[in-house]
Structure 1
Amino acid sequence: MKLNDLHTSLSNLQEKLTRFSFDELSAKEADKFRNALNSFKSLLEDKNTIQGNLNNLCTANNNLVNKTTLEEKQQTLQSLLVTAANKEINVPLNGILKFSEKLLKSNLTMEQERIVKEIQASSNNILTVSKDIIDYTGNDAIGTNECTTIKFHNIVKDVLFLCNALILNKSLKLNYTATNTIPNDLIGDPSKLSQILLNLVGNAVQTTQKGEILVVSKLIEETNDKVFIEFTVTDTSFGISDDKLDAVFDFYSQDNSSLGLGLNVAKQLIESIDGTISVSSKVDTGTKFTFILPFKKPVEPTRASLSKGIADIKVLIFEDNKLNQKLIELKLKKWNCKTFITDNCNVGLEILENNPIDIILMDLRMPGKNGDVIAEEIRNNNDLRVKNTPIIAVTADHDIRTSTEFNILNFTEFLLKPYTSDELLSTLLEQIENNANMETLTSNHINDKGDVPKINLTPVLNECMGDIGMLQELIRLFKNNALEFIGKAIVHIRNEDYEGLKFSTHKIKAGLKMMKTEALHDTVLQIENAIKDDIDVKHLNFLYNCFVEEYPIIDQQLDDELLRLAQEA
């Protein structure tokens, strides 16, 4: 079965389980939940009859006469026959499941309910075997490997999320740990990695009634161009007896643990990408599968290719040392950057106001006004474009991040002296990526004069049926919510409580939209997006600061607009 089919079939289930716990589902929602599962089990259904499929087999046989050997024809016909037969098995089984669901909703005695559930369990077991056979016979991709850059941790977490969604037994938990030495960017086959984990973890879910399924990944070996990652899938099932342990990877084996083709397919997939797998088990204790997969390392980009990412950017440099001025100017010009160099605060501010500067490099210790004082003046500038310009502090103080001498909140990044060309380049590239996000915000929020667009509350007043008093109360509540968000969001960011931050953004979004404060609404949406995948704390702080800086302007605009509407009334 292809991975994208699985993702499609589970999308409804994933959506529902994200919003509700299983116990909180209404009858209608429970129906949707069951339909999602049945959709997953019915992917391979087909309206054709056995006779129609056998006719197809004959046609296929005739077409193969002059193209394949006798052995190939037999294998192809066997595969098609198995597929056709299993499709026909699925049709009545899903009918049984459908009617048993209806029975469970009726008034049954405890004994009748037990029998219906046993019928469901038996039907599901047969469906699992049927699916395994289809997977095995139709798995044409085992012999081919896809090599592409993958996000390792994202793939593993996504697969385990799907597996966890299928665990309805509250006595069973699925947990995952990974060593932080495993790089996230690797080169491998994402489909095979997903299928291997789905088969092995799915097997553990099927065979374990209570306790824990623990998945662990760790880096065990690293060469110049490869990493070898070991996975273990440990469960607290009834275990497998010694006399049956050697057969668990056979074409099909089954004992009281209901092991099936999934393990055989997983073994073939692992070996197809030069991996290894082993199993150990103890009866009444549990089973542990261990497999090792090799991945290639991505080729590190050269400095020349990286420098293309900062070509044509405008950099303002505050530096008083003439030698340092020449060195940094030489490097930046070689990377096709446009540079402005000064050691004077007033000159630098004039450059900022007259040129769309992308990044400021600020030497912290200069004669006269030091870099910290100049950065403070920039942050207090009335022009939002100027005050939000990223400032990289250049310093030899290795304790700068914990320094009380400087206001480190004025700086978006720190570059420690002596720094290499590669360190300078990577720092600039990181800031350019953040700049792109900032430009999206400022283009929506700020006009050519650096002003936030005016708010029009006339539509809101209309919703209040022309009642100024009601509008005034809405504005008061809105301001309370905004101030609450400002207070709580910074605490969530500092504590890395991203679930709390997500809740705070969700809580304030509707109010921002209702009060037509599009600038703040866009900022909150960007905060939401920033906590979905790989979290960049510096970017989160930047977005939060955007909200904090824009709110006083919005606050005053709301008061002005309320006064205007009151006077017109």
Structure 2
Amino acid sequence: MKIWVFALFLTAFDCYSQQIEQDSVQLIQNYQAEARNAIAQQDFDEAIVQLNHANKLAVVNSDHSFKESLQLEIAELHYFLHNYHKANSEADIALDYIDKGKNDILKAHAFNLKGLILTQLGQLVEAENYFKKAEVIYTNQGTEAQRADVLLGIGMLQHKNGKITDAINYYNAAIPVFEENNNWYQLALSYLNKAEALVDLNEEQPLLTNITEATATLEKATAIIDQHSFTKLKVRSYRIGSLIALRNGDLAAVERNMKLYEAKNDSLQQVYLQAITKGIEIDASVNNLTEIIEEQRMDIDKQQKSINFGRMTTGLSIALIIILSLLTLSLYKNNNLRAKANELLQDKNIELQLAKEKAEKASLAKAQFLSTITHELRTPLYAVTGLTHLLLEEDPKPHQKEHLNSLKFSGEYLLSLINNILDLNKLEANKVEIEKTTFSLKKRINDVLIALKKSADDRKNNLHLEFDETIPDRLVGDPLKLSQILINLIGNSVKFTQNGDVVVRVKKLEENNSKVALHFEIEDNGVGISKKKQKSIFETFSQASLQINRKFGGTGLGLSIVKNLLELMGSKINLESQLGKGSKFWFNINFDVSEEVKEDINPKNIIYDVDYVALENRKILVVEDNKINQMITRKILEKNKMVCMVADNGMDAIKLVKENEFDVILMDIHMPGISGIEATQKIRAFNKDLPIIALTAVTIDENLDDFYRAGFNEIIPKPFKTEEFFEKIYRTIANKTFPVNS
């Protein structure tokens, strides 16, 4: 009986002690809240007092869970007050507490603060190490906003280290993240740092645009500062404003800003000094209190040892009862769980079946959507490529010809992009075929650079080509797919670089047995890609972040296409990148060397095995409902001296075929009234020999047999290359005997 009474007393004493500790923890948290509120009101004296009240209670409390964050807040306050040496020692104490716990995010926060403090103290190598430690933790466990704090800190470090361009890149990488997360203080600070860096950059590389951008950046910072009353940042903005005014030669603005800066800065420093002095006074009293507390703690330890034995006996008895109860409860729950597991399995099977049906419907809807949208894209694209061809045929001026060639190249690229969007699934299934044609690699790369020159100029970037002249002039491969790979990679570098350089390098690795191995590199000095995002950047519709998407645009499809195309061509894309310093994409690829000579001896003007003279005066019926496409097709044919008639729909085409003699029909598929397929079937009912070619924007995939069964002799997808267009017409007509010309 006495034992149970004693146990009851111990339990009551334990509960009482725990309640006291809980009350003290609550009081400490209240002091912390008061301190944060005082900092927001810029009452730094009060913040120091409240944090030290909290610290006094923390010394006597055995619960360490809150001491980490409390000590870190004390270090942060001294950093804010420019008391960097005190902040450094307090941060070390916070790290000692944090090392004993398991809060990695808080540890990363402490590492980042330590990096900021050491940057201000000029210990840049150590500061960089702490920033790297913080970035590793945030990359694995943190958020974009937390990682952006590290980017801002590294930017300040690089700025202090004299690497101004790197600093600007880091600020540019952090700004959209702060803006997305409404972190107004960090956003305003980033804008101020960037504005000051642009002024410093102007000293190294005098450029009016740097000062113009610095002015605009300072205006963005000032708007945020005024809205949120950031006094400390407002004072700093006066100093940066005076530097910009000095570069602009505005001496009145220099004097005005410097007066404001000196007056406001003196007041602010007095406030900081008063708060620091208050902290020193409180520290002295805390040290005396610590000695008293240590003596009391020793007495408590002696008393605690005397009751440990009784507590241990009671604890073992309670533990035995709990174990037996848990075993009984476990057996009961085990039976219930088995029954519920069977029910869940049945429900999951039903859900999986429904999900499978939904996926099949979604896949069908996707295929129908792609078929429709492709037709709608190909129709206007045919007008672009067709009109470009006609303009090139009309003897344009040299500078116009360069633009038209770029337009022609871009049209071909856009057509290739449309096809590859449709073929993304087939790429993974290895159903897309690689073409084998002869081409000039250097010309192909120059075409890509010309097409991207305007985009590069808009972002003040320089494009450079380092081409190994020992590479054979004529190679055999798929130039369109290679162009698509290069335009995606170079365009990506241009988009994420500003006031920088994008370098394209092509080197020969080896050459033997009519084959050559080449190494391609695309390198920039833009914002870079984080280690975490490098793992997913080649996935479909993936970008470095939502903020990157909003700032720079794009679908995130380009790098996925590059990855799939290179794998199809027996290669692999590789990436090396570092935030704030830029990125480098590279791959190795093999091509056959062409034995084709450059000189083209062609006295009969036959291209693609086409005898253009034999096509003159041939009568062609163009069946097309789109007026622009009618005009383009007709002009292309008539330029080659062919006789052309046009029908707006299938019924008119049938009537014209009955009344006239034609050498070939070019038939569209989608038309009002009856379709091109129906019209062809009706013509075949009374004329089985007349050649009919499907000239259509319909995606030709695995339904070729359907067209041939309907009565078509050949198929030409729109848009087309003019040479291939005439080659198919010539080959189709050539299968018949030409009528004798009268």
TM-score normalised to the size of structure 2?
Answer: 0.24
Higher helix share: 2
The structure that has the greater radius of gyration is 2
TM-score normalised to the size of structure 1?
Answer: 0.31
